Structure 1
Amino acid sequence: MKWRGRRGSGNIEDRRSSGGARIGGLGAGGVLIVLAIGYFFNIDVSPLLNGGSQGSSAPLSQRDEEWGQFVSVVLADTEEIWADTLPAQAQRQYVDPSLVLFRGAVQSACGGASSAMGPFYCPGDQKIYLDTDFFDMMAERMGAGGDFAAAYVVAHEVGHHVQNLTGVLGAVNRARQQQSETRANEISVRAELQADCYAGIWARRAQDRFGTLEEGDIDEALGAAHAVGDDVIQASAGTTPMPDSFTHGTAAQRQDWFIRGFRSGEMGQCDTFAVSEP
């Protein structure tokens, strides 16, 4: 990905050197999730399970600094693309989200979270939360390396912000509360796949405007989409994939919807809620 020497975003909040927020009250379901992620990714989650942990206050390494610069450029690209695309295609004004870089643990308007749970978007404060160590983990333990794989992750979370601005995310959260667990999971899958499709739109339009892509970049994004498929994660953890428990979609679904967005560049092609089978 061609990103060096380009404009960065002013909406980055870097907390990586200031320490993270304390986490508590995970609940039984949260504990199971943390244990599963810790097992699969070989992460020591004992501080979290023992009642909380503090983020590191160690100085940032050169690699940390470079990841921060990279994320800033990617976020700036999303700002420019969606500032044009959202009004033109959805008749909504785009409001830039903030992106919080943290290490270890963080507190958001949606509660506390650990980096072991991966990047996330919080509609309560319209912020994306990301531990850049996740990118190294993707490369080393998930076989999904490359700068455009990391860009896909950021663009996916920005996709959730777009859903929040259009009202989809709020509707999804309300609908999930009124359904059975299986049906709620299905709704969640459709929301995640739409965010993948929006990431594809960003990739297409960033290439058209900035000439961002280099050879192999789309393959890197597809590799990341495959690695975070529910079926792949469950199989890699040594369990039989259980479709009723999927919340993000299969590897094939995530790749398919990213490509739909990339090929079309149109939000109308990302309506995962209108198809019988996403």
Structure 2
Amino acid sequence: MKWEDLQSSENIEDRRGDEGPMIARGPRIGGGGIGLGTMLILGLVGWALGINPAILIGGAQMINSMRGDREVVLPQQESPQPHQGAVTDRMGRFVSKVLGSNEEVWSKTLPEQKGVRFEPPRLVLFDGYTQSRCGPAQSAMGPFYCPLDRRIYLDVSFFRDMQRRLGGGGDFAYAYVISHEMGHHIQNLLGILPKVQRAQQMAGSRSEANALSVRAELMADCLAGVWAHNGNQRQKFLEEGDIEQAVASAQAIGDDRVQRAQRGYVVPDSFTHGSSAQRTQWLLKGLKTGSIDACNTFNL
């Protein structure tokens, strides 16, 4: 991916290096407990939710299953002050460029296709831990979008985990991750996320709520493809092998593949992200069409 010449975004908050509070140990299972490896896997499974697991969509089931079905009250702390000045390290510059490309595409595509004004989110870079209005942001959660403060939260160590644990990686695969989170922001601007949340609260079963989560995630995959289609038309940043990178990552994080690797079997009713085939299908649909309407997984 030729990203160096893309326009940088000014909507970056660099909280890396901030000292966060001590993080309490997670819930224990039997006499052992949840280790770092399991937390990392949960983060890799959960990143595609794109929304803090304690607040919205399918992540709520993860929190509920870990804590019972008790109500979770999240702290509403002030966010740490970001570091001033532009990011200068390579990964920080990469994230800024991809975000800037998304801003350029969506500032034109969203009004042209849907008559909705694009309002850019901010992207928060952090190490290990930071605070969002949706609650604590931790590396083990993976990247997510918080609709309450309209921020994308990203610890770039996740990209290393993608390479080591999923066999994915590469610049365009990482751009796909960032653009998936931007896809959730677009859903929020279109009023889709609040409707999904209300529908989940009224769902008659967990499998019904999970199915709504799958639709939201597949739409965000497709919207990432819409960005790539329209961005490449303007900026010609795609290179040979880039699409294959993104497809490989989409396949690797399909619920069926993750469940089979973890459990040895698949439970479709528990899917919250979509199967490998579904994720690939919707990403490619966005890439091929460049159309927001083509991403309508809800038949709205």
TM-score normalised by L of structure 1: 0.85
Describe the shift of the 1:79–1:204 C-alpha distance in structure 2 as closer, same or farther (beyond 3 A).
same
Q: Which residue of 2 aligns with 1:195?
A: 220
The Cα offsets for residues 224-250 of structure 1, whole Å up to 9 and x where unpaired, read as: 111111111222224422111111111
Q: Does 1:260 align with 2:285?
A: yes
- The one of the two structures with greater contact order (alpha-carbon pairs below 8 A, sep at least 6) is 2
> Does the CA contact (< 8 Å) of 2:26 and 2:34 recur in 1?
no
Shift in Å, 1:129: 0.5
The Cα offsets for residues 94-138 of structure 1, whole Å up to 9 and x where unpaired, read as: 000000011112211111132112110000000000110111111
Q: Which residue of 2 aligns with 1:8?
A: 8
User: How far apart are the structure 1 equivalents of 2:2 and 2:244?
Assistant: 15
Describe the shift of the 1:75–1:40 C-alpha distance in structure 2 as closer, same or farther (beyond 3 A).
closer
SS of 1:237's equivalent in the other structure is: helix
Shift in Å, 1:37: 3.7
User: How far apart are the structure 1 equivalents of 2:129 and 2:142?
Assistant: 11
Describe the shift of the 1:266–1:32 C-alpha distance in structure 2 as closer, same or farther (beyond 3 A).
farther
Letter of the structure 1 residue corresponding to residue 239 of structure 2: E
SS of 2:89's equivalent in the other structure is: helix
Q: Which residue of 2 aligns with 1:122?
A: 146
Describe the shift of the 1:13–1:236 C-alpha distance in structure 2 as closer, same or farther (beyond 3 A).
same
Q: Which residue of 1 aligns with 2:75?
A: none
Q: Which residue of 2 aligns with 1:101?
A: 125
TM-score normalised by L of structure 2: 0.79
> Does the CA contact (< 8 Å) of 2:11 and 2:123 recur in 1?
yes
Pick aligned residue for 2:209 from 184, 209, 216: 184
User: How far apart are the structure 2 equivalents of 1:230 and 1:33?
Assistant: 21
> Does the CA contact (< 8 Å) of 2:105 and 2:230 recur in 1?
yes
The Cα offsets for residues 137-177 of structure 1, whole Å up to 9 and x where unpaired, read as: 11121111110000000000000000000000111011111
Structure 2 gap ranges (5+) = 45-65, 67-87
The Cα offsets for residues 47-85 of structure 1, whole Å up to 9 and x where unpaired, read as: xx9xxxxxxxxxxxxxx9211110000000000000001
Q: Which residue of 2 aligns with 1:144?
A: 168
User: How far apart are the structure 1 equivalents of 2:43 and 2:123?
Assistant: 24
Describe the shift of the 1:21–1:177 C-alpha distance in structure 2 as closer, same or farther (beyond 3 A).
farther
Q: Which residue of 2 aligns with 1:157?
A: 181
Q: Does 1:205 align with 2:233?
A: no
User: How far apart are the structure 2 equivalents of 1:160 and 1:25?
Assistant: 30
Structure 1 gap ranges (5+) = 43-48, 50-63
User: How far apart are the structure 2 equivalents of 1:40 and 1:271?
Assistant: 28
> Does the CA contact (< 8 Å) of 1:222 and 1:255 recur in 2?
yes
Q: Which residue of 2 aligns with 1:89?
A: 113
